[in-house]
């Protein structure tokens, strides 16, 4: 049986309207993410999926496909995850919808084994990505390797298959994440990236400044670090005031 390890889970979100979603340079941003992950972890990207349908096994083939793809909605990049448990996805949701809503998000999700990076390098990686891709909100946590990146819940193992329960709260976040510039927070994590909207509501600002450590990542984004005890206390007593979704 494989030893259970820990993985860093990084999720970053950028609010878009139709125009900003179309202007977001998916091709260059995907390549930028790959370069930064390879630099931080010393791993190499091994396989690539574009728009849920085309899988490439060489970086050169993938780069050619990126160039020729007019509409990049989704990309999955795998760093030999069977061995390293490391991969990321990036999706530009607005481009996938025929009926365009007023707002949507660009979502970046990375799972990377703690074997390849420490907290200091993760914080620096996050800072670089937030600057380069203009993310508005996000978080970082650590989960056991038997947890699923998408739902952040334990993977159930059957005799011949694995599965993860999808709960109502997953759908609630999906429909509420367009409010990330209106003070909404998904949940509380050891590392939280928040914006000015989380500090304009006096009640929310008071709690954020009293618990944990708040510092600037750049001129738009703050990193809010919380201990496990902070998280436990705030979830019990300040859930509504903090506008927590989960």
pLDDT in the model for residue 166: 67
pLDDT digits (tens, 9 = 90+) for 136-168: 999 999 998 888 787 777 877 665 666 666 677
Measured between alpha carbons, how far is 154 from 124 in angstroms, rounded to an integer? 28
pLDDT in the model for residue 160: 61
Measured between alpha carbons, how far is 114 from 26 in angstroms, rounded to an integer? 27
- At 160, list the tokens: 């011949």
Q: Please provide the DSSP assignment of 185-218 as one string.
A: B----SEEEEEGGGGTSHHHHHHHHHSSEEEESS
pLDDT digits (tens, 9 = 90+) for 80-104: 999 999 999 999 999 999 999 999 9
pLDDT in the model for residue 170: 74
Given a cut of 50, whether residue 191 has pLDDT beyond it is yes
**What rounded mean pLDDT belongs to the chain?**
93
Average pLDDT over residues 159-182: 80
pLDDT digits (tens, 9 = 90+) for 121-141: 999 999 999 999 999 999 999
Are residues 177 and 13 in contact, defined by beta-carbon separation less than 8 angstroms? yes
- At 203, list the tokens: 């009640």
* End-to-end CA gap in the chain: 33
pLDDT digits (tens, 9 = 90+) for 40-71: 999 999 999 999 988 999 999 999 999 998 89
State if pTM tops 0.85.
Answer: yes
Given a cut of 70, whether residue 106 has pLDDT beyond it is yes
Within 8 A by CB and 6+ apart from 64, the residues are none
Please report which confidence band the pLDDT of residue 1 belongs to, taking 50, 70 and 90 as the band edges: very low
pLDDT in the model for residue 161: 62
């Amino acid at each position: 049986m494989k030893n259970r390890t820990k993985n860093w889970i990084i999720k970053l979100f950028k609010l878009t309207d139709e125009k900003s979603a179309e202007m977001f340079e998916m091709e260059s941003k995907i390549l930028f993410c790959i370069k930064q992950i390879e630099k931080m972890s010393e791993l190499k990207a091994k396989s690539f999926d574009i728009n849920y349908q085309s899988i490439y096994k060489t970086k050169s083939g993938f780069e050619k496909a990126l160039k020729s793809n007019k509409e990049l909605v989704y990309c999955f990049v795998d760093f030999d995850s069977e061995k390293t448990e490391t991969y990321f996805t990036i999706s530009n949701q607005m481009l996938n919808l025929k009926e365009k809503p007023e707002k949507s998000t660009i979502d970046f999700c990375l799972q990377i084994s703690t074997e390849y990076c420490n907290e200091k390098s993760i914080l620096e990686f996050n800072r670089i990505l937030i600057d380069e891709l203009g993310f508005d909100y996000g978080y970082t946590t650590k989960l056991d390797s038997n947890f699923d990146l998408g739902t952040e819940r334990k993977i159930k193992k059957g005799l011949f298959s694995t599965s993860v329960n999808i709960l109502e709260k997953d759908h609630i976040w999906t429909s509420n994440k367009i409010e990330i510039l209106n003070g909404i927070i998904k949940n509380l994590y050891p590392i939280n990236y928040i914006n000015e909207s989380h500090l304009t509501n006096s009640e929310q600002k008071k709690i954020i400044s009293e618990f944990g450590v708040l510092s600037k990542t750049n001129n738009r984004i703050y990193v809010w670090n919380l201990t496990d005890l902070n998280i436990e206390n705030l979830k019990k007593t300040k859930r509504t005031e903090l506008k927590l979704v989960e």
